[in-house]
Chains A and B, each alone.
Chain A
């Protein structure tokens, strides 16, 4: 049993890693979709699209690993969360359909390019909102009876989940804008920088409101964040976050290229740390811990062997694919 406890913890971290990788990587793809209407139709939009075209598919795969990993390592959590957030999940999937095909279709059919640009934006927005609201729905607690969801259809829809949804949209927009600051040049880079500043303020504001709301949401969350000895563990999160926010705003005013993007990712990392600190050890608050939901040891060990062998390879060739398309998104030969 002792072994199982460790294994389960390892798996919780693996899933968290997959979700984090998804959030930052598809986050900037979706963010570019969210910001798309702000770009001028023509070269600016085309270049923004080109900057992610070779990598978006790999980025999205982390979502399949997050979901598939949850299914495999914590089947009970998977079986509760998806029915509990059913309309959100369906909306996210349909949003990703529009977003995904828009990459191909907008080039294919110039006469309907505006339509597919709108589908790209709409799909990205819906997917981001749905993901953020799913997180909120999980944090605010899910009704469970026996081994199944027992709430009603729209339990997930509350002011709190709307806030987490908008927060995610703002955060993805920040990632997308700072990615473009890195990949663009000249006036387009300046444009991305302006958008990034707006997105940064919106993200910081919403992150703050959601964090405070968390404390009101659930006495256990508040206890954890505000009483000793946990507070010593928790305190670095808001402090580091504040430092990162200041650094990000400075980097955005100082014509840095890649720095704002890395700082935005660090901001998300802090969000993730805070989230983990809030939820631990529950995978479905308030009732299901990671150990309640865990698959048997044999399943977890079997998969751990696969992760141990494939994950380094995946990271290597994913890194290589990014390396191949490094540098500013080229506009040579475009005119």
Chain B
């Protein structure tokens, strides 16, 4: 009934599902951690209550997103062994140390300072608390550094030697492995994507509350900050994406062929296909609508530059074209929509209507989740585009899987799907519920219950541990009672 091919497909679905779900949370928390650090820094610098209110408002949301990122991330860290044990055995000597460095330099940093960031304001004081917030933000960035180094190495392997048993062994220089040819491009493109993702969530929430009360100063500040990000960073991101595309053309040309829908070679200039339906059977793009020579212009910066197509690649080395073709268009489309709203916000600012243009605010609300869609589409483009290889050109995905039977992989996949949708669905709903409340002056982050602990808002075990309110509150006598 089952054969190994089924187990492989199920393992791939499982990895794609768990990593897509997981990446939503770090994509948000990388940007949000930095945003929180900026808000707290501004509060310390200016002393304005508004920044402190916003800090506490977003801290509640961060706490939930971070918890979901942690638990789904632990699943990822073990997935290499459960479903991809042959990959683990063979690539472990190169990939393993980079991931160990992620744990040593990032995870411990985030986890160690998170407790102080969430619960410790009145215990350590403002400056140390700000330092803890900074450490968490730095930790998220370091984590991205290592994980993208690993991922990039699998796309553009460098600095290794082949050993016995088909193992990949580190060569002379770890720097060649860490800073492999596609790593810098991937890192900046992904981290920028995380910042934009957060900016659009913050902007969408700000716009939502502006639509209800355009005088709300907190909503104004959020919206304004987010729109600056959109206006300044979206064009940079498009430039960075282009740079990564050129890098991909250099190292993984068939991925670019699939992204562009180039089944056939174009000896004197390739068109940019705006639309088309990849027909994998016939190896052509149906209903193609293209602008002549523009693809060559973008990729080679020359109208007549020849571009090779998938007809030059053996069938068993071609990636699945339709998925890559469409996911790439989704990502680019969202990127340009982001640029559009950024430009629109500049116009609105110039005309003094930034807080007074409901259509702009509605558009911003619609765009709030767009970063997540773009980030996932981007990952699909790059990961599906490198198939059939897990280590590009060297190790096929089919040869990397664990010796497991399909029912084992299938039942664990089912369990992940059920649990993730239930648990993270609820978490996202809690986040949305927090976002639907407008930020208030003196945001306390604590909803008072009639009895029992005043802790319904999440991470604050009570007024004595409420970030920021600490100075006003007396220290309990119990706090002094230490171990006898």
Contact = CB atoms under 8 A, between A and B. Distances in A.
A interacts with B? yes
Given A42-B452, A96-B74, A104 B67 contact: yes
B92 interface: yes
A108 B423 contact: no
B26 to A, nearest CB: 14
Chain A binding surface SS class: helix
A207 interface: no
A89 B94 CA distance: 24
Interface string B79-91: 0111001101111
B82 A302 contact: no
Interface string B103-115: 1110111111111
B71 A97 contact: yes
A63 B74 contact: yes
B81 A78 contact: yes
A97 B99 CA distance: 21
Nearest to B434: A108
A258 interface: yes
Interface residues of A, number: 81
Interface string B423-444: 1001100100000000000000
A65 to B, nearest CB: 5
A159 interface: no
A60 B70 contact: yes
B101 interface: yes
Chain B binding surface SS class: helix
A97 B72 contact: yes
A90 B420 CA distance: 13
B174 interface: yes
B89 A147 contact: yes
Given A101-B71, A257-B483, A110 B449 contact: yes
B120 interface: yes
A116 to B, nearest CB: 9
Interface string A30-44: 000000000000110
Contact of B93 (A54, A57, A75, A150): A75
A155 interface: no
A6 interface: no
Contacts of B423: 97-98, 101
A318 B93 contact: no
B59 to A, nearest CB: 12
Contact of B476 (A46, A295, A330): A330
Given A67-B81, A330-B464, A57 B169 contact: no
Interface string B361-378: 000000000000000000
B209 to A, nearest CB: 20
B451 A335 contact: yes
A149 B403 contact: yes
A108 B430 contact: yes
Given A148-B403, A258-B483, A79 B120 contact: no
A158 B410 CA distance: 24
A315 to B, nearest CB: 10
B419 A328 contact: no
B119 interface: yes
A109 interface: yes
Contacts of A332: 462, 464, 474-479
Given A79-B81, A81-B81, A299 B96 contact: yes
Contacts of A295: 92-93, 96-97
A241 to B, nearest CB: 25
Contacts of A13: none
Nearest to B427: A101
Those 10 A-B pairs whose CB atoms lie nearest each other, nearest first? A75-B92, A332-B476, A72-B96, A54-B115, A82-B81, A79-B89, A100-B71, A79-B85, A58-B111, A57-B111
Interface of A: 42-43, 46-47, 50, 53-55, 57-58, 60-61, 63-65, 67-69, 71-73, 75-76, 78-83, 86-87, 89-90, 93-94, 96-98, 100-101, 103-105, 107-110, 147-150, 153, 182, 185, 257-258, 295-296, 298-299, 302-303, 306-307, 310-311, 314, 317-318, 321, 324-328, 330-335
